[in-house]
Chains A and B, each alone.
Chain A
Amino acid sequence: MSYISIKNLNFGYDKKRIFNDININIEKGSLVALTSSNSSGKTSLLNIIYGNIITERTIFINNVELNQNNVENFQRKVTFFTPCIKFYSKTVLDELLLELGADNIINKNKIKKILQEFNMIKYIDKSPLCLSYIETQKLNLVKAILKKSEILLIDNIFSYFDKYSKIEFIGLIKKYQIDNGLTVVYATNDLNDIVFCDKVIMINSAHVLYDGPVDKIYLNEKLLKESKINIPVLNELMDKLKLYDIINENVCTINEMVDEICK
């Protein structure tokens, strides 16, 4: 049974139609990538799921309709990651205590332990405004863990991560998702970012173009062209080399590609 259901969603801004009668089901405990070309509605869809934009009789969480009356309760179970997130507490410790309620030794020790795990203990008495972009996103993840969020909605935050920090952050999310049966939906326009997901939903021209496992996407050239999303540069080169008959086999690494070229 699906945990988040989107039923017959129609939505647009002004005269522009963003979603035309779309249906999506997301299972509990799954990690789902939402991908499309620019301005196809990734952020809008996350905002609709979160309840920032209320659409009648379209979003169902555990078969219960999300509406004006229950949206606040629902949002308590969700953490939303956006690129422009900011925290205004005096210190990182104060910010995290907001999630645990009481300012006591047990809660402080709990916070210290988790900050140590995230390699952020040195910031405990610093202002969250002093944190770098990546550390701010990490702090949001720590908050999500303390808050015991059931759903993470992630809106294109990896655009501002360097490669190694991205791998580290994704590893943390994946671990937390598996350990706690968390449902994660995250938006990206980069195929490099979807490999670790359980499934991919691809939206194009107001419709769901693809809803299925990750591995089938990479082999579907027609789908990739139609979706206009960014494919890894190695894949782009491989496709062209095959087109000009310079290589015949699929390759996954630069060394394999060089071997194929020099055959």
Chain B
Amino acid sequence: MQIRVENLFFNGIENVSFDIEREKITGIICNNIDDLGNINESIYENKKQKGIIKYIPRYNIKKMGLISIKEINNMIYGNSYDFILSKSKEYKYNTDKLQEIIKIIGITDSILKRDISTLSTSEKIKVLFARVLLYNPDTILIDNIFPELDSKSRDKLFKILIKLNKFEHKTIVISTIDVDTIFEFVDNIILINNGVCLSCSDKYSSYENDNILDNDLIEKPLVVNISNKIYEKNQIKLGKNDSINELIKAIYREVR
């Protein structure tokens, strides 16, 4: 699904326009936690006070999956197994892939049997993720859940998201306040600062305009920041690197 937002006003969001490209992984980076929630809520539920949100093809909530802290906080009753099945049953979709999804995400039998209220936040995230994958939406929105996950769980989640994007052509939107967590994994980045959109382009271009970024005190990804500073100091170009491993290879190649 492609989502085009034009002059959106919603709660604190003011006159924001951006494009979420179909079958890409897009990161939305905000400096303000409430903006993140408002943008996701607006896109997921087609809510706005002013402006246009165009969905291509047309808006259908059954084609959207949201994994957010708000959803997690609303998980209160019942056991995990019933919760995972709940949306698919509501939409009358088949649930043949349940076992496969449970295995991919790494949900144990013990988690499946337990009452949701006894699960840790990271276990709730897994259960919510399984529910979304089971009803198989075209677009998956992930709202700032990464601070809740340790590095091992994050890596696993990103691997699944990349496979979903690459092999099942899902559109994936990941919003966060911490660009370093997602920079390696996204294609495009939308930068929002205090309710205003500063840029919307491929991930490297989003961090090229120093005037805007410095003026708004936007932090660049560490890998970009180090590359820029090495260039300023020694005029050595390290190229475009999106991960720590890539940066180290470039430093080894160019500096050493």
B33 touching A133, Cβ below 8 Å:
yes
Complex: how many Å from CA A16 to CA B229? 48
List chain A positions with a Cβ less than 8 A from chain B. Answer: 13-16, 37-39, 41-44, 83-84, 132-134, 156, 158-163, 165, 189-190, 228-231, 233-234, 236-237, 240-241, 244, 246, 254-255, 257-259, 261-262
| Contact in complex: B153, A38 (CB < 8 Å) | yes
Q: Which residue of chain A is the closest to B221 with respect to CB atoms?
A: A233
Closest to B149 in A: A38
CA distance A133 to B252 in the complex (A): 44
Residue of B nearest to A255 (CB): B229
A64 to B139, CA, bound (A): 54
By the criterion CB–CB under 8 Å, are B222 and A237 in contact? yes
- Interface contact A257-B226, CB-CB below 8 Å: yes
In the bound complex, what is the Cα–Cα distance between A240 and B243 (angstroms)?
Answer: 12
Contact of A134 among B33, B110, B120, B149 (CB under 8 A): B33
CA distance A246 to B245 in the complex (A): 13
Is B212 positioned at the interface, with any CB of A under 8 Å from its CB? Answer: no
Q: Establish whether residues B120 and A39, one from each chain, have CB atoms under 8 Å apart when the complex forms.
A: yes
Closest B residue to A263 by beta carbon equals B255
- From B69, B110, B151, B233, give the contact of A262 (CB < 8 A): B233
Residues of B within 8 A of A189 (CB): 148-150
Chain B interface, number of residues (Cβ within 8 angstroms): 42
Residues 145-161 (chain B) with a chain A CB within 8 angstroms: 147-153
B89 within 8 Å of A by Cβ? Answer: no
User: A39 CA to B166 CA in the complex, in Å?
Assistant: 30
User: Which chain A residue has the least Cβ–Cβ distance from B73?
Assistant: A84
Q: How far is the CB of A233 from chain B (nearest CB, A)?
A: 5
Most chain B C-beta atoms within 10 Å of own C-beta, residue among A158, A159, A234, A254 = A159
B residues 216-240 in Cβ contact with A at 8 Å: 219, 222, 225-226, 229-230, 233-234
| Shortest Cβ-Cβ A-B pairs, 7 listed | A159-B147, A38-B122, A84-B73, A37-B150, A258-B229, A39-B120, A132-B34
Q: Which residues of B contact A (CB under 8 A)?
A: 30-34, 37, 69, 73, 110, 113-114, 118, 120-123, 144, 147-153, 177, 180, 219, 222, 225-226, 229-230, 233-234, 244-245, 247-248, 251-252, 255-256
The one of B114, B153, B219, B234 that contacts A13, using a Cβ cutoff of 8 Å: B114
11 interchain pairs (CB within 8 A)? A38-B153, A132-B34, A133-B33, A159-B144, A161-B33, A163-B177, A189-B150, A228-B152, A233-B180, A254-B229, A261-B230
Asked if B251 contacts A15 (CB within 8 A), the reply is: no
Given B34, B150, B251, which contacts A246 in the complex, CB threshold below 8 Å?
B251
Contacts of B37 in A (CB 8 A): 133
> B250 to chain A: closest CB distance in Å?
11
Q: For the complex, what is the distance from the CA of A237 to the CA of B33, rounded to whole Å?
A: 27
A14 touches B110 (CB 8 A): yes
Closest to A164 in B: B31
Q: A14 CA to B108 CA in the complex, in Å? A: 12
Assembled-state Cα–Cα distance A87/B227 (Å): 47
- Min Cβ gap A231→B in Å is 8
Task: Give A201 to B32 CA distance when docked, in angstroms.
Answer: 30
**Inter-chain contact A43/B255, CB cutoff 8 Å:** no
Are B31 and A162 touching (Cβ within 8 A)?
A: yes
- State whether A233 and B123 are in contact (beta carbons under 8 Å apart), knowing that A228-B150, A262-B234 are contacts in the complex: no
Q: Are B121 and A43 in contact (CB under 8 A)?
A: yes
Contact status B222-A234, CB under 8 Å: yes
CB-contact partner of A162 in B32, B150, B222, under 8 A: B32
Task: Report the separation of the CA atoms of residues A37 and B33 in the bound assembly, to the nearest whole angstrom.
Answer: 23
In the complex, the chain A residue whose C-beta lies closest to that of B244 is: A237
CB-CB < 8 A to B151: which residues of A? 228-231
Q: How far is the CA of A101 from the CA of B115 in the complex (A)?
A: 37
The one of B122, B123, B225, B248 in contact with A244, judged by C-beta atoms closer than 8 angstroms, is B248
A38-B122, A39-B123, A162-B177 are known contacts; what are 5 more A-B pairs with Cβ within 8 Å?
A37-B150, A38-B152, A159-B147, A190-B147, A240-B244
Tell me if A38 and B251 are in contact (CB < 8 A).
Answer: no
Residues of B within 8 A of A230 (CB): 150-151
A253 smallest CB distance to B (angstroms): 11
Closest Cβ–Cβ distance, residue A128 to chain B (whole Å) = 15
Contacts of B150 on A, CB cut-off 8 Å? 37-38, 189, 228-230
Complex Cα spacing A190 to B149, Å = 9
The residue from B33, B110, B225, B233 contacting A160, defined by CB atoms under 8 A apart: B33
Are A83 and B73 neighbours in the complex by a CB distance under 8 Å? yes
